[in-house]
A and B are shown apart, each in its own frame.
Chain A
Amino acid sequence: MKETENIFLTLINQHKAIIHKISKMYMNGAEEQRDLFQEIVLQLWKAYPTFKGNSKFTTWMYRVSLNTALIYFKKDNRKVDKTPLDENIDVIDINESAEREEKLAYLYTAVQELNVIEKALIFLFLENQSHREIAENLGISEINARVKLNRTKEKLQSIIKKNGYEF
């Protein structure tokens, strides 16, 4: 058991950026992001026996993490923490350029206006998933994935424009 636990921890620590990014996309506020982060880790651990190694670990991780975020129910009576994005979870590398930080901060802000499925589409797209892979992850047809993704990209562009930013 201890050995399984260690292997699992090594694997998710190698790919923890996936969980961080999903938490930031799905929750607006540091505390809620931390709660979702914990929930995803817990669900990954609970689902770990279902990982048979037939697919890449990251493929399995995308599915479990996204499925968790899609139906995650916020903790009751929690006040929304409006901490600015760049103070959320220790995500931003201080060596990164200010321009990149700004772009990503605007992206995360704009993404909050998308629905949960649109967030999943954009996330998988940004993670370099092909239309086929997106379709497989979401359980929809490839054509549907392509159409939905194009619509979501347009929507995201107009949100960013509306917010007075262009890149």
Chain B
Amino acid sequence: MNFDDIKNEWNAETPEGSNISTDMLKIKQAHTPIDKIRGKMKHEFFYQIFFLVLMAFVPYFFGFSSAMNQVFLMFYAITCGFTAYYFFKFYLFYKNSYDMSLDTRKNILWFFYEMKLNIELYKALTYIVAFIGVAFIAIYLFIEKASIFNKILAKLSSVYILLNCFITILIIGVITELWAWYYYGKYLKQVKKVVDELDYE
């Protein structure tokens, strides 16, 4: 194969086609992995807001005692605080524009680390909210269902209780990791593949 020859053929190829028009510049949705992640995070933001609003009515649905109401308010405030903090971070990620005119290495590494950082933030928020939820359920059982719960606990050994706590943490961890991977992992994997191909000596 003569590359000089093919180069000449390549340079002689002049795609005609119709001209690029203004309409093509009006397309809103881009398809870089980061745009995809941003789009999904935007959806999650609305689900999270809906969930938080719904949570505010939990005391009415379950008819909490005044002590439990106070505990609930404390947990609710902590959840809202954490969510607000992380959503501010995600908002910055959403608004942070990228520069496609950098050289490929800089560009691809920017994409990779920006995506990785935000997926880790997303996982951290999920862990925090899940643990707050588990802690709240435990306190609820201790306060509102004390007699039944204490009876159950009395029948169980400390090792068994510890083992259960450990398994609960493990399940939360596995679900969070799998969810983040399923939802966002494929985009990160694609960019990581390009980084590896670029680094391959």
Contact = CB atoms under 8 A, between A and B. Distances in A.
Given A73-B36, A104-B10, A167 B1 contact: yes
Of the candidates B9, B13, B27, B99, the one having the most CB atoms from chain A within 10 angstroms of its own CB is B13
Of the candidates A8, A60, A138, the one having the most CB atoms from chain B within 10 angstroms of its own CB is A138
A120 interface: yes
B15 A16 contact: yes
A67 B106 CA distance: 10
A41 B13 contact: no
Contacts of A41: 20, 24-25
B199 to A, nearest CB: 9
B3 interface: yes
Contacts of B21: 9
Interface in B1-48: 1-3, 5-7, 9-22, 24-25, 27, 30-33, 36
B68 to A, nearest CB: 45
Contact of B12 (A12, A47, A96, A160): A96
B67 to A, nearest CB: 49
A82 interface: no
Interface stretch (B131-139, B168-176, B189-197): B189-197
Interface residues of A, number: 65
Please name the 3 residue pairs, one residue from A and one from B, whose CB atoms are nearest each other, closest first: A139-B105, A139-B103, A20-B15
Interface of A: 5, 8-9, 12-13, 16-17, 20-21, 35, 38-39, 41-43, 45-47, 50-51, 60, 63-64, 66-68, 70-75, 89-93, 96, 100, 103-104, 107, 115-118, 120, 125-128, 136-140, 144, 147, 153, 156-157, 160-161, 166-167
Given A20-B15, A137-B103, A138-B105, 16 more contacts: A13-B19, A16-B17, A21-B10, A39-B31, A46-B97, A68-B100, A71-B191, A72-B31, A89-B15, A90-B16, A91-B15, A93-B13, A93-B14, A100-B9, A127-B10, A138-B198
